[in-house]
Chains A and B, each alone.
Chain A
C-alpha cells in the first residue's frame, strides 16, 4: 500500500506567480489535511477536506489560498500571487473514512521557495 504522495517535492516560484501543490492520499483514505511548517516551527493546520467538500478551512489565509479535493484525482493546494512569506514546507496527511479517531499519515512534504 503506497503511502501519501506529494508532488512536487521542491517548488521554486517568483513573487506574484502561482503555486500548485498536489497530494494523493493513501489508498482507501478519503480525509485529507494540509499543514504548513515555517522554518524552526511546528506544523500548523490549514484545511481539512473530504471528497468534493471542504470541511474545515479555519487555518487557511482568507486571501490567495484555496484547496480542493475532487471526486477523481489528487487534492490540490493552490497559492496565488505568492509572496516571500509563503516560503515553507507544506505537508499533506490522510486518514481513513472511519472518523476523527484515526491516525493521520503524512506525505513527504513540498518545500516551496519564493524568490
Chain B
C-alpha cells in the first residue's frame, strides 16, 4: 500500500522569505500523480500544484514550485516570497494512475505541515 509522509508537523517563515516543505512517499508503482493542497483556517482544501510522475520537469505555479525526485520518492514544495496569506496547513497527496482494482484514483494524504508566516 502507498504511504505519504510529511516529517515536519510545523514550519515557520519570515514574510518575503523562502520556505521548503518536505514530503516523501512509498510506492511500487511507476506511474502516479503527486499534489500539494493548502488548507487555510477556513478549512477549504485548495489545490496548490500538481506533478505527473512521468514528467521529469518540476511543476511551478507562480511563487510555488516543487522539487520532484522520483528515485528518492521525494516531493518537496518551495514557497518563494512568502506572504501572510500563505499561512495554512499544507498536505502532500499521492494518486495512483491505475484505474482498476483497489486504486480507483483516490488521494492518499500525508498528515500535513502547519506553516506560519511571521510579518
Contact = CB atoms under 8 A, between A and B. Distances in A.
B45 A99 contact: no
B104 interface: yes
Interface string A83-103: 000000101010100011101
A35 B107 contact: yes
Contact of B105 (A40, A44, A48, A89): A48
A42 B6 CA distance: 10
B51 to A, nearest CB: 11
A33 interface: yes
B109 interface: yes
B97 interface: yes
B47 A105 contact: yes
A44 B99 contact: no
B102 interface: yes
B111 interface: yes
Nearest to B108: A45
B37 to A, nearest CB: 8
Interface residues of B, number: 28
Given A48-B104, A56-B102, A103-B35, A43 B96 contact: no
B111 A101 contact: no
B104 A104 contact: no
Contacts of A109: 43-45
Interface of B: 4, 33, 35, 37, 42-47, 50, 52, 91, 95-99, 102, 104-112
28 contacts: A31-B105, A33-B106, A35-B107, A42-B91, A42-B109, A43-B107, A44-B109, A45-B108, A48-B106, A55-B104, A56-B104, A56-B106, A58-B102, A59-B106, A89-B43, A99-B99, A100-B95, A100-B96, A100-B97, A100-B98, A100-B99, A100-B105, A101-B52, A106-B45, A106-B46, A108-B43, A109-B43, A109-B44
Interface of A: 31, 33, 35, 40-45, 48, 55-56, 58-59, 89, 91, 93, 95, 99-101, 103-106, 108-109, 111
